[in-house]
Structure 1
Amino acid sequence: MEDVFYFNSIKEYNDFNNHETLHPLVSVVHLDKANPRKLRRLRYGFYTVFLKQIYCGDLRYGLSNYDYEGGTLIFLAPNQVIGENKNEYYQPQGIALIFHPDLITGTSLGKNIGDYHFFSYAVNEALHLSDQERKIVEDCFSKIGYELQHTVDKHSKHLIISNIELFLNYCIRFYDRQFITRENVNKGILERFEGLLNNYFSSDKSQNIGLPSVSGCADELHLSTNYFGDLIKKETGLSAQEYIQSKVINVAKERIFDADKSISEIAYGLGFKYPQHFTRLFKQKTGITPIEFRRLN
């Protein structure tokens, strides 16, 4: 048995779930019509959104397990892998919205699809919906489904894509709400991030490895890079990269007071490959060079 079961086309996924193909590039699939199946690792060649309405078992994404409860949205970008291979059978439940990248090519949604960062979130960073939010999601799905059932005319593609875009924009709002309602959890992550940076610069990691990266910090905190970046932005108003740079500058200011070290030594100690890059960043953030800062203080 192959390690990953791959769905290349919308029709393949529809057939797998006993669902009629009404459009070659988009579908709203009611998964309760599918046959019971074994747990498998799955990969999709298109954008996939699952609305899970009831408990349907554990799925595996990377190394993270997550229980899908009612009112949870899971987003997958093309070619992401989800699930795990087991001999257990389960009955799929919920609704899947699937759309091929070719559907949105050349449209405003196609140009801006990268702005919807949640397609790169890990499954344990899924969106949990209130009853009212779930109704809005179901209404968007219903409108897309209506257009798929409607006789194709010159308005069909525009209306389908517009409703997908509307749905995704609602999801941005709902994620903003989730960041707020999980404020205590988020603050804990922010504190761990700050502690991570403190430990990084108090050790020899910066000198041996270089400057801390956003992806490296996200990995240490067991978060996807995009979710981590969005969370830090919501909590601090700074991007994760800006937050790291701010920390670098604060540490640099402390070290500049050590007159026994040259600016180049300080730069290398912070993880810069070239001292001029440190000088450029320092002046960009403070308005003066490290040497001028040392003289003034």
Structure 2
Amino acid sequence: MEQAYNFDTVSQYNDFNNHETLHPLVSIIDFSKANKRTGSRMTFGLYCIFLKEIHCGDLKYGCNYYDYEEGTLVFISPGQVIDVENKVDIYQPMGHALVFHPDLIKGTALAKTLDEYSFFGYNTNEALHLSKKERKIVFDCFSKIESELSHAVDKHSKRLIASNIELFLNYCERFYDRQFITREHINKGILERFEEELNSFFASEKPYSIGLPSVAYFADALHLSPNYFGDLIKKETGKTAQEYIQNKIIDIAKNKIFDSEKTINEIAYELGFKYPQHFSRLFKQRVGYTPNEYRNLN
């Protein structure tokens, strides 16, 4: 039977993995010290970054599995629930993790920028695969944090630990940029499917029932998290996913405006706008003319 665990404090997670708590708000975990375990469901009130070293236990988030192999980083934010499954009944967890409580970074520079690390919002099949060189950098960062944890807590501890975590996250941002490039062929396929989903949406009756489609709508259609999908589109096209959707709306609108039998209001409703004036405002912002002015010009 699957066991359920809630980890709201660092000490709880340390105890679970047979680690001494050196600091109440942050820890580096070596899973080889943990007891063997069975499949479980874990709820976290902590930020966790797992570094997988060998295949042992599959992480499942929602209905999908993480793309989680040797030399892989997975990012968990507070509130996430993770299922850990394995092909054998009992297994030895292996790898390392950085875990820290949200309170650790309050009042630090990292607190102001943490939301910018969008990979904490990635969920399925979107883990970070590391090269050997990148894995060494990760261990170096973990070592710096661990070294600071072994130091007696003083007035400098919080700032130094938060700075080292920020350094680590900045490296992760660089590694993800590299991964978007090395997986370019996969990303191109996603971009093509995005274009197909856009065309299919506006060729259907969905704009009447759903309204204007959101970034989350297309991310879900492509089985990606909104954060990962948004970052991928931005890196592939130079535009945000929202801008890409709006550009498609304008392109379709231009074609519809040539149909003089339809009023501008009818066109707005066909595109999913609840209020025609919102359509006219967006069209004017993007094209420089109102829909009626554009119709008359052409």
TM bin (shorter chain): over 0.9
- Contact 1:97 1:141 survives alignment (8 Å): yes
Structure 2 vs 1, CA of residues 119 and 52 (structure 1 numbering), >3 Å: closer, same or farther? Answer: same
Which stretch of the first structure deviates more once superposed, 25-34 or 4-13? 4-13
User: Could you report, residue by residue, the CA deviation over 1:217-271 in whole angstroms, capped at 9, with x for unpaired residues?
Assistant: 0000000000000000000011110100000000000000000000000000000
Partner residue in 2 for 1:187: 188
Q: Structure 2 unaligned runs (5+)? A: none
Partner residue in 1 for 2:127: 126
User: Structure 2: which amino acid aligns with 1:149?
Assistant: S
Distance, in Å, in 1 between the alignment partners of 2:68 and 2:55 is 6
Partner residue in 2 for 1:5: 5
User: Could you report, residue by residue, the CA deviation over 1:141-176 in whole angstroms, capped at 9, with x for unpaired residues?
Assistant: 000000000122332211111000000001111000
Q: Structure 1 unaligned runs (5+)? A: none
Mapped pair 1:112 → 2:113: yes
- Contact 1:5 1:43 survives alignment (8 Å): yes
Partner residue in 1 for 2:210: 209
Partner residue in 2 for 1:73: 73
Distance, in Å, in 2 between the alignment partners of 1:94 and 1:116 is 23
User: Structure 1: which amino acid aligns with 2:79?
Assistant: N
The number of residue pairs the alignment matches comes to: 297
Distance, in Å, in 2 between the alignment partners of 1:252 and 1:3 is 54
- Contact 2:2 2:40 survives alignment (8 Å): no
Partner residue in 2 for 1:167: 168
1:57 Cα deviation from its structure 2 partner:
2.6
Partner residue in 2 for 1:227: 228
1:272 Cα deviation from its structure 2 partner:
0.1
1:13 Cα deviation from its structure 2 partner:
0.3
Which stretch of the first structure deviates more once superposed, 87-96 or 198-207? 87-96
Structure 2 vs 1, CA of residues 76 and 259 (structure 1 numbering), >3 Å: closer, same or farther? Answer: same
Mapped pair 1:289 → 2:290: yes
- Contact 1:55 1:67 survives alignment (8 Å): no
Distance, in Å, in 2 between the alignment partners of 1:2 and 1:89 is 12
- Contact 1:117 1:227 survives alignment (8 Å): yes
SS in 2 for 1:5: strand
1:123 Cα deviation from its structure 2 partner:
3.8
- Contact 1:39 1:85 survives alignment (8 Å): yes
Distance, in Å, in 1 between the alignment partners of 2:100 and 2:93 is 19
1:94 Cα deviation from its structure 2 partner:
0.5
1:64 Cα deviation from its structure 2 partner:
1.1
CA RMSD in angstroms comes to: 1.4
1:215 Cα deviation from its structure 2 partner:
0.3
- Contact 2:59 2:84 survives alignment (8 Å): yes
Q: TM-score, normalised by structure 1?
A: 0.97
Distance, in Å, in 1 between the alignment partners of 2:275 and 2:4 is 44
Which stretch of the first structure deviates more once superposed, 255-264 or 76-85? 76-85
1:288 Cα deviation from its structure 2 partner:
0.8
Partner residue in 2 for 1:56: 56
Distance, in Å, in 1 between the alignment partners of 2:89 and 2:241 is 41
- Contact 1:10 1:100 survives alignment (8 Å): yes
Mapped pair 1:142 → 2:143: yes
1:85 Cα deviation from its structure 2 partner:
6.6
Which stretch of the first structure deviates more once superposed, 72-81 or 145-154? 145-154
1:53 Cα deviation from its structure 2 partner:
1.0
Distance, in Å, in 1 between the alignment partners of 2:67 and 2:5 is 21
- Contact 2:48 2:77 survives alignment (8 Å): yes
1:60 Cα deviation from its structure 2 partner:
1.0
SS in 1 for 2:66: strand
SS in 2 for 1:59: strand
User: Could you report, residue by residue, the CA deviation over 1:64-86 in whole angstroms, capped at 9, with x for unpaired residues?
Assistant: 12353221000000010111578
Distance, in Å, in 2 between the alignment partners of 1:82 and 1:165 is 24
Q: TM-score, normalised by structure 2?
A: 0.97
Partner residue in 2 for 1:36: 36
